[in-house]
């Protein structure tokens, strides 16, 4: 177990039980729920619903990261997310994450009350974002991506090469290791369902990096390919299956759209993890 150190003096325990991060896309074009929560009032209703269902963290994003999504300006991203983060930060029971790779957006989000910076480019798109996390003491999710670069043929070797470079950026900026969580980036330039399945099968290898791990499989295309569900909204059961599997492989956090179904699946996985831990302790006595 470890304490994840976050901005504004907050912490959260990782490892003993699953931590669910609810996805709140305040965008018109996200791949599975685009436009549903673009209005601030609807975003807040959805956030409260996810918290009631068991989400400990709400991850607010203002730009779709889908491979075919058109980029938005930094100002538009900030216009979408800052009012929502300000409103959420008034709720003492919830931790707020900002899904951005932009330095200035991260700075404004933390100022508005965000506790965590979730960077899908692993600090390598705008390295100045690392300074924002360092100065604020914010929790930091460093995600692996294979986009816009040549990848190593071995999926896990590519994970280590990319994430170690990101960790170098973080440490040079003065970020404490206790602020860092790693995300292997399911679906981000993992070209085929087999690539994502291999990442799941070999997930335990990532523990060698020494940081808590986040699993972000929610409604991804590879789940649709496995289950035959073309509609992203019909992939929640498949997502819950991957969440449970990855929990048994040591993931600590789970970034999901449908909180309720994943909370239930993870409760079962947590029971197995707890039983294993108790059995191990008993055998050591």
What residues are labeled active site?
220, 255
Residue 82, token pair as written in the block:
């800052």
Tokens of 31: 């791949």
Task: Assign residue 77 a region (left: φ > 0; alpha: ψ between -120 and 50; beta: otherwise).
Answer: alpha
Q: Return the CA Rg of the chain.
A: 18
In sequence order, the 6+-apart residues with CB closer than 8 A to the CB of 242 are 200, 215, 217, 223
The answer to whether the beta carbons of residues 183 and 214 sit under 8 Å apart is yes
Name, in order, each residue with C-beta under 8 angstroms of 234's C-beta and a sequence gap of 6 or more. Answer: 227
């Amino acid at each position: 177990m470890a304490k994840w150190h976050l901005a504004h003096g907050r912490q959260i325990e990782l490892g003993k039980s699953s931590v669910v991060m609810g996805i709140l896309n305040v965008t018109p074009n996200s791949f599975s729920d685009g436009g549903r929560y673009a209005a601030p009032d609807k975003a807040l209703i959805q956030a409260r619903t996810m918290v009631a269902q068991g989400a400990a963290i709400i991850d607010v994003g203002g730009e779709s990261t889908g491979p075919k999504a058109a980029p938005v300006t930094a100002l538009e991203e900030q216009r979408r997310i800052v009012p929502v983060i300000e409103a959420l930060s008034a709720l003492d029971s919830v931790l707020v994450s900002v899904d951005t790779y932009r330095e200035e957006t991260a700075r404004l989000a933390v100022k508005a009350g965000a506790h965590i910076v979730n960077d899908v480019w692993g600090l390598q798109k705008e390295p100045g974002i690392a300074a924002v996390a360092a100065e604020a003491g914010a929790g930091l999710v460093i995600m692996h991506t294979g986009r816009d670069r040549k990848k190593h043929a071995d999926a896990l070797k590519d994970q280590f090469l990319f994430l170690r470079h990101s960790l170098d950026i973080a440490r040079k900026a003065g970020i404490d290791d206790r602020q860092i969580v790693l995300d292997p980036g399911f679906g981000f330039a993992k070209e085929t369902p087999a690539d994502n399945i291999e990442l799941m099968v070999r997930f335990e290898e990532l523990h060698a990096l020494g940081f808590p791990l986040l699993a972000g499989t929610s409604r991804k295309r590879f789940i649709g390919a496995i289950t035959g569900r073309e509609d992203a909204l019909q992939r929640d059961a498949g997502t819950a299956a991957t969440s449970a599997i990855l929990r048994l492989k040591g993931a600590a956090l789970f970034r999901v759209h449908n909180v309720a179904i994943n909370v239930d699946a993870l409760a079962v996985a947590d029971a197995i993890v707890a039983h294993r831990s108790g059995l191990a302790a008993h055998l050591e006595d």
